[in-house]
Structures are given as structure tokens and as C-alpha cells.
Structure 1
Amino acid sequence: MKIKEAAKLFERIGVSGFNSPKKTPSHPTKSHVVVAKEGDKVKTIRFGQQGMTGSPPREGESQADKARRKSFKARHAKNIAKGKMSAAFWADKVKW
């Protein structure tokens, strides 16, 4: 992808660069967007359910939050393992 094309894509989507996720509060269904790049492949990925909060690890968290995180990671383990070009990878990294 040429520099001009990349700059136009970043401006249109509203991200600062490759592999840098951004919240999308005005999108009807997805909470984040990222322009993922791995080698020569470039892909726009929207991920995360709008309005749903993840449960990133924090001090003093409830057992329910730990269970939610564990369930998400178990349920999406195969897709997370696919790497940067999957929505599950970004949801795991940003929201969980």
C-alpha cells in the first residue's frame, strides 16, 4: 500500500496508523475499528459489541468479571490465535 493510499484510508476511518485501534461511538453495531497490517496484507476490522463493556484485569475485581474474561478467551481461543488479521485478536487485546 502506498503512503498516499494509507493516509487517505487513515483519514477516512479516523485512525492514527496501522494496528492502532480507535473507538467508534457513532457506529450502530461495533465499538472499535482498526486498520490491521501484517506483511503486505492490509484489512479494516471492526470489532466489539457496541454498548458492551469488556473486563480488563484490574485490582480488586469480582469473581464474575474473572469468569467473563476466562469464558471469552476460551470461547474465542482459535480465532485469537489467528493473529492481527482477526477481530477476536483485537477484541481480546483492547476489551479483555
Structure 2
Amino acid sequence: MLSNLLNEVEKEYYNLLNECDCEDELNEEELEESYLILAESDCFEEIEAPLIVEAEYRGKKVKLNKPMRGDVKKYKVYVKNDKGNIVKVNFGDPNMRIRRDDPERRKNFRARHKCDTATDKTTPRYWSCKFWSSKNVSDMVS
């Protein structure tokens, strides 16, 4: 059921691309995220489904908002900033393990980095905090 809904979101994205004939003309809000509400029996659950959009960074095609193993730091991610430019965000210490499965370590890390207020996707803090959430890190990295 979830895969069918994600396919519908992807189709809608490509319909938007075909309507304006150019990815740059789309409103950033239309591309950045899509929210789905799934109905399962009597309860509703909101699931955040970010659209992976391909863009160009220094002549190379990259996927936006998809963390991957880094070259300078442990991880890197390409994001679109406020001006509409694609920027690379490097984050993480390559010599340290992410020990987020220990509840005490996770709590201390998230408090130390003020993860509750990290909302800017163009900062390393946002992505580090995202990795220290309850989601499995290997599911986030490509």
C-alpha cells in the first residue's frame, strides 16, 4: 500500500515537471517535500515522504537531500539553499562511530547539539541531528 502511494507521489512530481517543461521553474515547495496521509482501519498516520530530486552541482548530477558517504568528512549531502543554489554539506567525524543505539548517548548528543531547534537543511548540525534520531542510519545513507 505504501509503495503504491509513493508511486502516485512520483507520478505527480513528473506531471509537474512536464507541465512547466523545466525543473528550475518549479516552486521549491512543490519539489522539496510531499506529505501523505495513510488511512489504516480507523487511524490516520502522517508520513513524511521527501522527493529525491536530481540536480546539478559543479557539472555533476546529484540527488538532493540524500546523505551519502563523504570525501572530506564522514558524510555529505547536496541541498538547495534559500537562493536556489545547490550546496554540498559535509558533516560527521570520519574517525568516530555513531553510537546512537545507546539511549543515554543519544539523549546527551541531541541536548548538546540542540537538535530540537535544528531546522536549516544547509547546516551540518541539521544532518547530524537527523542521524541521531531514532531512525536507522543505514536506511538514510545511499
Q: The TM-score by the shorter chain falls in which range?
A: 0.5 to 0.7
The corresponding residue for 1:61 is none
Residue 94 (str. 1) matches residue 138 (str. 2): no
SS of 2:92's partner is strand
Shift of 1:43: 1.8
Which aligned segments of 4 or more residues in structure 1 are displaced greater than 6 angstroms?
none
Task: Confirm or deny that 1:66 pairs with 2:116.
Answer: no
Q: 1:48 to 1:79 in 2, by over 3 A?
A: farther
Larger Rg: 2
Give the Cα–Cα distance (whole angstroms) in 2 for the partners of residues 80 and 18 of structure 1: 22
Contact 1:23 1:31 in 2 (8 A): yes
Quick one: distance in 2 between partners of 1:80 and 1:55?
21
Percent identity for Structure 1 against Structure 2: 26
TM-score w.r.t. the length of structure 1 is: 0.62
- Structure 2 residues without counterparts, runs of 5 or longer: 1-23, 25-54, 134-142
Q: Normalized per residue, which structure has more strand?
A: 2
Matched letter for residue 77 of structure 2: V
From 65, 82, 89, the equivalent of 1:45 is 89
| SS of 1:36 mapped into structure 2 | strand
TM-score (norm 2): 0.45
Alignment partners' CA distance in 2, 1:41 and 1:66: 37
Confirm or deny: 8 A CA contact 1:80 1:88 kept in the other structure.
no
Number of equivalences: 79
CA RMSD of aligned residues (A): 2.9
Asked whether the 8 Å contact 1:48–1:91 carries over to 2, the reply is: yes
Equivalent residue for 1:75, pick from 108, 112, 126: 112
- Structure 1 residue runs of 5 or longer lacking an equivalent are 11-15, 58-64
Instruction: Kindly indicate whether the alpha-carbon contact (under 8 Å) linking 1:79 and 1:86 is maintained by their aligned counterparts in 2.
Output: no
Please show how residues 15-26 of structure 1 align to structure 2 within 5 Å.
Answer: 16-24=62-70
